[in-house]
């Protein structure tokens, strides 16, 4: 079954977040997925203006003319999306948040266009407890709002997503530790790859289920 996974690095630099997102895409490719990659570095993504007529986004695409126009079609043309965010002051970068808030700009029924796509989250901070978990939850909440299907990493790792520690360019590649349960060394690169594998596998399962049942539209979720 053919599937496509999109990786998005939400860092303003081509650094550690990008390394982990690309490693996750390698994991997806190992499952036969076609992959695509976007870096938000250098892109101009304005924050949502909160148009007075909030229905504007439902009637046509966003009125703002910036680089989001390049991202919209890529989001809708895939079966899974992996978002990586650097952690600034305990939370996701402004670039990632702005991109999320502009998703109404997909036009009519924006959630319909992302419904049942699989989502994976990656967070990179400068310390072991530097805000990665909050960042993962923020990205996962975004997936839930968009009616996507967020996944984590299979036990014994039981992660919400993939995390890393990095203080200098490329240093996330040195982030390794001994897993408390398996007693084996594991790295941030390993975790990112595991996440990519999981996203690809779940995307195949969901795509097969949709093809078998045809349950893709809002009416199937309504309470009778």
Q: How many CB atoms lie within 10 A of CB 104?
A: 17
User: Which of 51-55, 93-97, 130-134, 140-144 has the least mean pLDDT?
Assistant: 51-55
Copy the structure tokens of residue 75.
């989001």
Burial (0-12, 13-18, 19+ Cβ within 10 Å), 101: middle
Query: CATH number for the domain including 60?
Result: 3.40.50.360
pLDDT digits (tens, 9 = 90+) for 9-46: 999 999 999 999 999 999 999 999 999 999 999 999 99
- Dihedral, 184, 189, 192, 196 alpha carbons, nearest 10: -100
Side-chain-side CA neighbours of residue 99 (13 Å): 31
**Number of domains observed in the structure of the chain:** 1
| Pairing mode, strands 176-178 and 185-187 | antiparallel
Q: How many CB atoms lie within 10 A of CB 171?
A: 17
CB 84 within 8 A of CB 44: no
pTM equals 0.92
pLDDT digits (tens, 9 = 90+) for 96-118: 999 999 988 776 566 788 999 99
Its domain, for residue 129, covers: 4-221
């Amino acid at each position: 079954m053919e599937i496509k996974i999109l990786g998005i690095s939400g860092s303003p630099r081509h650094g550690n977040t990008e390394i982990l997102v690309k490693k996750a895409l390698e994991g997806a490719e190992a499952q036969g997925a076609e992959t695509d990659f976007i870096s938000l570095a250098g892109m101009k993504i304005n924050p949502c203006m909160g148009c007075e007529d909030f229905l504007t986004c439902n009637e046509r695409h966003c009125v703002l003319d910036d680089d989001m126009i390049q991202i919209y079609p890529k989001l809708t043309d895939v079966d899974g999306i992996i978002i990586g965010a650097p952690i600034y002051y305990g939370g996701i970068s402004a670039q990632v948040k702005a991109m999320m808030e502009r998703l109404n700009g997909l036009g009519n029924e924006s959630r319909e266009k992302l419904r049942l796509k699989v989502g994976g989250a990656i967070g990179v901070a400068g310390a072991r407890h530097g805000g990665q978990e909050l960042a993962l939850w923020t990205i996962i909440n975004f997936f839930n709002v968009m009616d996507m299907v967020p996944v984590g990493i299979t036990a014994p790792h039981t992660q919400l997503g993939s995390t890393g520690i990095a203080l200098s360019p490329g240093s996330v590649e040195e982030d390794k530790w001994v897993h408390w349960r398996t007693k084996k060394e594991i790295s941030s690169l390993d975790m990112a790859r595991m996440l990519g594998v999981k996203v690809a596998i779940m995307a195949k399962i969901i795509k097969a289920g949709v093809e078998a049942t045809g349950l893709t539209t809002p009416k199937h979720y309504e309470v009778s």
